Chain A
Amino acid sequence: MKQLVILSGKGGTGKTTVAAALAHLASKEMPVVLADADVDAANLELVLDPTKVEEHDFTGGQVAVIDPELCTACGICAEVCRFEAAIPDDDTYRVDDIACEGCASCFYQCPVEAIRMEKQTAGRWFRSDTRFGPLFHAHLFAAQENSGKLVTLVKQQGRLLALDEGRQLLIVDGPPGIGCPVISASAGADLALLVMEPTVSGVHDLERILATTDHFGVPALVCINKLDVNPGRAAEVEAFCASRGIEVVGHIPFDTVVTEAMVQGQPVTAYADGVVTEALRRAWEGVKAHLTLKPID
């Protein structure tokens, strides 16, 4: 079983568009499992028309709760809290549960034991059926922490099912950025496909996500989206990738058909034949060639 993660560094470069297209194309050739690892803002479900078959709570971290009956308003909790989460409130203190990081420092320091720690339900995760294969996805509740843990959970579930059912490929649609949820989404990946646009920001962010996948030892391929917005920059990206020994497997032109497909709730490759679909087919061939070159786990 191989694990492919779609990343970008910069947001909005087309990760989900590419992930949905690869899900569609790959599923015609082999049994796949899909995981949406962008748990803050999961969009893959919008183009895969999933039917939920399982739904579970995600218990994230804990938060401090102050019992106003016991609190003597000594203020020690606010003194020890480094997250400005203990706030004076009339003649007692209360906890801002959005600011609280659940460290329990106040819990241990409160001289009158007025503080307890409570587990929080931080989100929900789902297993759904789609016409391309099972999809694991999640919704982290607003302003919750621990997105890395939820990403790991969603991805692990996908991995277990793939191993269980002998499915050959797990496609993980990753989050933007380079921090905690990206690190969780990339852990254990056989290959990362980095989707970028040929802009000054796109090049800057590609270098940072590439440094990140290098840091964690994940081999990477590049897919250039909206290629024709700036052909000069695109040529620079090609040269940069060549100098680093990284293959550019995707060259996707700008086309409003991508947005039309999204509005229709379809992967673009399932919605229309044309230059974009053709480019994505070639990208899938490139990804596939690279995956089979790797030793089997």
Chain B
Amino acid sequence: MIIAIASGKGGTGKTTVAVNLALSIAADAQGGAKSDVLLLDCDVEEPNAHLFLNPTIERREEVGILIPEVDYDKCTFCGRCAEVCAYHAIAVVKQNVLVFPELCHGCGSCTLNCPEEAIHEVLNVTGVIEEGQALINAQCSMANSQESRGIRFAHGILNIGEAMAVPVIRELKKRIGEDSNRIVILDASPGTSCPVVETMRGADFVLMVTEPTPFGLHDLRLAVEVARHELGLPVGVVINRDGVGDRGVEDYCAAENIPILMRIPLDRRIAEAYSEGISMVEALPAYRERFVELYRRIAVEGVAKLVSRQEVAQ
């Protein structure tokens, strides 16, 4: 089961829900269930989940895209590479071939089109992926199990000054693997454009975290449009800071037949714990059961999609 957590608007609580959902399911699983939990922080521009999970990083890998490098012994400066590049990332000026890595999408078309086979590709590093294990805090664990299984964790970090988040997200999502028993939680970035689409693609369910305000509603609509209408994925909503603002989100969800799966009230204790990097379930353990219940409801809502994915896999 792959659950993407998105919102449209920033700061509505995506990371809070992602982290606490992961902690709660993993703690519940220690009571005898068999699912592994993997959390991927796909907000590679501003990754924050690690601040709440404090994972032990076991591996670091530099990632990026393949960009062209010209072999001047073979190049005849015919200009074909520049002609076929849709991004103006390569230019031939007299006896020189200029490559602009920040414009290159790594499509490889120049390499394929070079009549002299004078182009090979090299990795242009634009970010790093870190992966490891996060322990579940003892008081979060429902069973007093001795062996703590924890949560598998990975995040991507886009290098400062780099424009393209998508290649880093693409590499990060390769960590999902094939095990369909595993519960994978993807924490998306705000917005609705390419990084969010890349995160949602291939998910079984998209959980939208919103706040009941005009900004929250406006951006929720856009995010639902992407998930439901463009990608054909089932969606559900978590209303955070329930009670502030107006009824717009409720009315919209009712009209669009989108299930409201959880409500989190505006609570100063939650805001204060968050500000210190303390997870909700650690600060307010009563929420554990509510996040487990949230997962059950997602599983019911997302089950049809999950079954069809497994059938395709077989």
Contact = CB atoms under 8 A, between A and B. Distances in A.
Is this pair of chains taken from one and the same complex?
yes
A118 to B, nearest CB: 13
A175 interface: yes
B190 interface: yes
A162 B191 CA distance: 28
Interface string A243-280: 00000000000001001001101000000000000000
A10 B7 CA distance: 13
B165 A179 contact: yes
Nearest to B268: A229
A13 to B, nearest CB: 6
B12 interface: yes
- B45, B244, B271 — most chain A CB neighbours (10 Å): B45
Contacts of A296: none
A289 interface: no
A134 interface: no
Given A12-B11, A99-B201, A200-B275, A46 B215 contact: yes
A217 to B, nearest CB: 11
13 contacts: A11-B191, A62-B86, A99-B201, A142-B192, A142-B230, A147-B193, A178-B160, A183-B161, A201-B48, A233-B276, A259-B244, A259-B245, A262-B215
B87 interface: yes
Given A43-B219, A104-B84, 10 more contacts: A40-B193, A80-B112, A82-B106, A99-B201, A103-B107, A183-B163, A201-B15, A201-B46, A229-B271, A265-B214
B9 interface: yes
Contact of A176 (B46, B87, B112): B46
Interface in B96-145: 105-109, 112-113
Contacts of B43: 177
Contact of A175 (B113, B158, B191, B277): B191
Interface string A13-27: 100100000000000
Nearest to B111: A105
Given A12-B190, A108-B84, A204 B275 contact: no
Contacts of A102: 86
A256 B246 CA distance: 12
Given A12-B12, A105-B112, A177 B160 contact: no
A62 B107 CA distance: 14
B107 A101 contact: yes
B2 interface: no
Size range of the interface on A?
A: 35 or more
A204 B48 contact: yes
Given A41-B190, A177-B189, A259-B244, A230 B197 contact: no
A118 B276 CA distance: 50
A289 B163 CA distance: 31
B276 A230 contact: yes
Contacts of A265: 214
B27 interface: no
B194 A147 contact: yes
Nearest to A216: B161
A55 to B, nearest CB: 18
A38 B86 CA distance: 25
